[in-house]
């Protein structure tokens, strides 16, 4: 079993220009780009992959293609398999297992706002559904509910629950997780990757890696090597880009726009998400240029 160490890319899902169809060959190209950048693995069908807009058939196709391409390149695959329906999450978890994913990513159920006991039962039923390792995903800004340290400690007792993607922004909660459990802690926020590493995180599931995989991978190489000075310098240089990709527009609007500006078009966003207004698009272009990248519109 993989250790969840290092940089994982939260993959965008490329669509056709009208958003009607998933572009599987563009997905494969992006995975190859990630492998060339040195990341440890990829995470399809998560928040960045617009998973709520995928049909079950599309979800299956994306996971299968990701496993096929990533596996041939030596990358791990953590397949997004979460849902706000426990029954549906179990189906997606079993799908990920059958497809050959190394683990599934299970987000806190969104919209329902379940109790702590409801969350416990939700994740435990998924963990019992098949032997696939599970990465819990705590992102209260998206789900309206945050996992407590006590709940995470209870869940960590299940042998199939191996890791947690922590995206609450709380270093206190991250510290409690590493103090009270043996779960692999993964940063769910590029701007907090280095701070979370200081309290025991072993990797990151990165949005920015869609744009700069080599730099995200290098950051974790420096962290693993114990080179704090170089890691802080790289963190500082990455910070404006990482912050902008998550603040200029709702994820994945900014990162898909950035990829388009860099000549790596990923097609349309699916409603209710849409392309940003011109001012925001220009701001994303300036952000890329300031980060040493070359947006094609600005180059032209």
Query: What amino acid positions are annotated as catalytic residues?
Result: 137, 165
b/e per residue, 112-137, with b = 16+ CB within 10 A? bebeeeebbebbbebbebbebbbbbb
In 10 A of CB 65, how many CB atoms? 18
Helix intervals (H) in 226-277? 228-247, 253-261
In terms of Cα–Cα distance, which of 160, 229, 209 is closest to 46? 209
Question: What totals of helices (H) and strands (E) does the chain contain, helices first?
Answer: 13, 8
Region class of 74: left (phi > 0), else alpha (psi between -120 and 50), else beta: left
List the beta bridge partners of residue 186.
165, 203
* Peptide bond connecting 252 to the previous residue in cis, omega within 30 degrees of 0: yes
Task: Name beta bridge partners: 78.
Answer: 103
State how far the Cα of 79 lies from the Cα of 135, in Å rounded to an integer: 9
Tokens of 73: 């390149």
Closest Cα to residue 106, out of 23, 169, 178, 163? 163
Rounded to whole angstroms, how far apart are CA atoms 98 and 172?
Answer: 37
Q: Which helix (DSSP H) or strand (DSSP E) does residue 92 occupy? A: helix 86-99
């Amino acid at each position: 079993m993989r250790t969840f160490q290092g940089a994982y890319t939260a993959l965008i899902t490329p669509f056709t220009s009208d958003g009607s169809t998933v572009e599987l060959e563009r997905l494969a190209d992006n995975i190859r780009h990630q492998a060339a950048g040195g990341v440890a693995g990829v995470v399809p069908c998560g928040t960045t992959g617009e998973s709520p807009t995928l049909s079950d058939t599309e979800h299956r196709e994306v996971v299968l293609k990701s496993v096929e391409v990533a596996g041939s390149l030596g990358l791990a695959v953590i397949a997004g398999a979460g849902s706000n329906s426990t029954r549906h999450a179990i189906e997606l978890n079993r799908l990920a297992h059958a497809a050959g994913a190394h683990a599934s990513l299970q987000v806190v159920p969104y919209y329902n706002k379940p109790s702590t006991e409801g969350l416990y039962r939700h994740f435990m039923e998924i963990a019992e559904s098949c032997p696939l390792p599970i990465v819990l995903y705590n992102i209260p800004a998206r789900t309206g509910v945050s996992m407590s340290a006590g709940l995470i400690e209870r869940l960590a007792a299940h042998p199939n629950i191996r890791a947690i993607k922590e995206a609450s922004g709380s270093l206190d909660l991250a510290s409690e997780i590493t103090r009270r459990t043996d779960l692999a802690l993964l940063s769910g926020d590029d701007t907090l990757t280095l701070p979370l590493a200081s309290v025991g995180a072993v990797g990151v599931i990165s949005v920015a890696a869609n744009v700069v995989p080599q730099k995200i991978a290098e950051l974790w190489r420096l962290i693993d090597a114990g080179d704090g000075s170089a890691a802080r310098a790289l963190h500082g240089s990455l910070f404006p880009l990482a912050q902008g990709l998550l603040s200029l527009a709702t994820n994945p609007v900014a990162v898909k726009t950035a990829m388009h500006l860099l000549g790596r078009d990923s097609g349309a966003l699916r409603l209710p998400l849409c392309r940003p207004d011109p001012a925001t698009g220009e701001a994303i272009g300036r952000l890329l240029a300031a980060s040493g990248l070359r947006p094609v519109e600005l180059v032209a």
